[in-house]
Structure 1
């Protein structure tokens, strides 16, 4: 066994300022990752080909008009455009049914 804290994990930068990820499990066709968002960071409107489940582990996350607190989960249906904004620093679990994302127009 190897015990680690969420803060001690190595997070890769995403192409959005203040948004980082750590892959927990990658399998075809989807993946599971931890997302770390700096307070005030945003992701532009996007959609995925499959559903996405977001569970906030710490912080406060706004997804469109819904605000998620720790231990709350939101399921985003496939091909549904959504935006993300971190109200505070956030760590959340993201489970994607399928790989891939596109920016909404």
Structure 2
């Protein structure tokens, strides 16, 4: 479990703007896995789950920014389904530069 958390953070540290949403989700999942440990004191579980929520929020924020960016460029790499931004697999493979995302 700790190895997964370390791997997720290592990937997060090296993430570019193009894949920060995905790496943030991976870190959130690693935090949630740690939070599932029933031997942790309640206050530590609360802290771990709070960290997971923060990374989930960050992932959603960056995903939405990328979606708006793609819509402005007309790339079609991401599309909206029921109001939610959906990323295509092609976009993940191409990993285009998105340094101008604000």
Q: TM-score range by the shorter chain?
A: under 0.3
Question: TM-score, structure 1 length as denominator?
Answer: 0.27
**Structure having the larger proportion of residues in helix:** 2
Question: TM-score, structure 2 length as denominator?
Answer: 0.27
Taking CA–CA contacts closer than 8 Å with sequence separation of 6 or more, which of the two structures ends up with the larger relative contact order? 1
Larger radius of gyration: 2
